[in-house]
């Protein structure tokens, strides 16, 4: 398996050759591969990797299954990872070709879903704003890099740009791992979309001052009631939108909706090493005694979510509709 190493973008374009499950788990845990839909696809291909490694090393079925479990559990918040693994796992008995074909299908379906949900969200926005160029804010990276193609939140922005209805994008840098300034800005620059990168602390003010018309983000897990887990900082964006009467749009494929999770309170929030917060470029800038607190995600309650756009259709949680309505 070969993956683009997102840790070193945009400075370097390097690929990781992954031949063992432990390497894939490491790549996921360190965010070489990241973004909920991309994790789903990596999980599905990870099952093929486990079958190959099992055959090479003469593993028992139990050892192979434990390796598959390890991939599934490499990160806890994005439901897509477990979803991707469990979608293809039942085919293990049918053989490698069947699992590989299912993983490929899953990746193709993800790109198609992203295109459809982007179209639906763009229609919703333009109907609301009267078909004029819009100014947007986005947080983290929900683009091509985070999916198998096209993107979710960034897919909506690309769709608006394709219709000549996108004026400017404010990109939150997304501390501590800078998915906004490293990855989203990189994708927007490649697309030729006008944008500026701002510190996360500027987001509320950008929204409340009316410098944007709406905010759009992806999601790592959407609970049955419409609560949304996404990159930490999303909740602040949502609250500022709520106060200002601006829409917060969540763009995600149906694979991110977890109907078995009733509300956001039931979503496990990954807590990452504190050093990611207090060490920058290898240099610690907080006092030695100061610990970093590093929850990677937060949960935005459904009442602050104006729209969830999926390929199955749209729901407006703040107006009372729920993902369960599309089930």
Sign of CA dihedral 121, 123, 125, 127: negative
36 assigned ligand-binding residue? yes
57 in a known ligand binding site: no
In sequence order, the 6+-apart residues with CB closer than 8 A to the CB of 97 are: none
Cα(146)–Cα(220) distance, integer angstroms: 11
75 among the known binding-site residues? yes
Write the DSSP symbol of residue 292. P
111 binds ligand MRU (CB under 6 A): no
Rule CB under 6 A: choose which of 111, 148, 152, 310 binds ligand MRU: 152
Instruction: Give all strands (DSSP E) within 181-265, no chain letters.
Output: 195-198, 214-217, 221-223, 228-231, 248-251, 257-258
Is residue 52 flagged as an active site residue?
A: no
Q: Exactly one of 184, 198, 230, 306 binds ligand MRU (CB under 6 A); which one?
A: 230
Residues 6 or more apart whose Cβ sits within 8 Å of residue 123: none
Residue nearest ligand MRU (C-beta atom): 218
Q: Does 149 bind ligand MRU (CB under 6 A)?
A: no
Nearest of 192, 215, 126 to residue 163 by alpha carbon: 126
184 lies in the site for ligand MRU, by CB under 6 A = no
Considering the complex, what minimum distance in angstroms separates the CB of residue 219 from ligand MRU? 6
Nearer to ligand MRU, 100 or 236 (CB): 236
- In the complex, minimum distance from the CB of residue 133 to ligand MRU, in angstroms, rounded to a whole number: 24
Whether cis (ω within 30° of 0) applies to the bond prior to 85 is no
Is 34 annotated as contributing to ligand binding? yes
Binding site for substrate: which residues? Answer: 34-36, 75, 179, 230-231
| Binding region for ligand MRU (CB under 6 A) | 31, 34-37, 78, 140, 142, 146-147, 152, 179, 217-220, 230-231, 296
Numbered residues of the known binding site: 34-36, 75, 179, 230-231
């Amino acid at each position: 398996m070969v993956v683009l190493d997102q840790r070193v973008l945009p400075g370097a374009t390097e690929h990781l050759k992954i031949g063992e499950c432990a390497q894939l788990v490491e790549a996921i845990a360190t965010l070489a591969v990241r973004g909920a839909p991309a994790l789903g696809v990596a999980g599905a291909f990870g099952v093929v990797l486990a079958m190959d490694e099992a055959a090479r090393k003469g593993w028992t079925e139990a050892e192979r299954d434990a390796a598959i479990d390890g991939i599934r559990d490499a990160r806890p918040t994005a439901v897509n990872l477990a979803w991707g693994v469990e979608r293809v796992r039942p085919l293990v008995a049918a053989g490698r070709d069947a699992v590989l074909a299912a993983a490929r299908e899953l990746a193709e379906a993800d790109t198609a879903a992203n295109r459809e949900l982007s179209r639906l969200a763009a229609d919703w926005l333009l109907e609301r704003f009267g078909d004029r160029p819009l100014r947007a804010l986005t947080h983290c990276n929900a683009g091509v890099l985070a999916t198998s193609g096209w993107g979710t939140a960034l897919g909506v922005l690309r769709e608006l740009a394709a219709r000549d209805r996108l004026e400017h994008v404010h990109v939150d840098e997304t501390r501590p791992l800078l998915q906004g300034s490293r990855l989203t800005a990189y994708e927007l620059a490649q697309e030729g979309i006008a944008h500026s990168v701002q510190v996360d602390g500027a987001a509320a003010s950008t929204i409340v001052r009316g410098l944007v018309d709406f905010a759009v983000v992806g999601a790592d897990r959407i609970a049955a009631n419409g609560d949304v887990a996404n990159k930490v900082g999303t909740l602040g964006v949502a609250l500022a939108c709520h106060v200002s009467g601006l829409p917060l749009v969540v763009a995600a494929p149906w694979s991110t909706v977890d109907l078995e999770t009733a509300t956001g309170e039931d979503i496990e929030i990954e807590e990452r090493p504190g050093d990611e917060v207090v060490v920058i470029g290898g240099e610690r800038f907080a006092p030695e005694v100061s610990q970093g607190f590093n929850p990677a995600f937060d949960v935005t309650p459904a009442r602050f979510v104006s729209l969830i756009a999926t390929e199955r259709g749209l729901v407006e949680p703040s107006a009372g509709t729920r993902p369960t309505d599309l089930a």
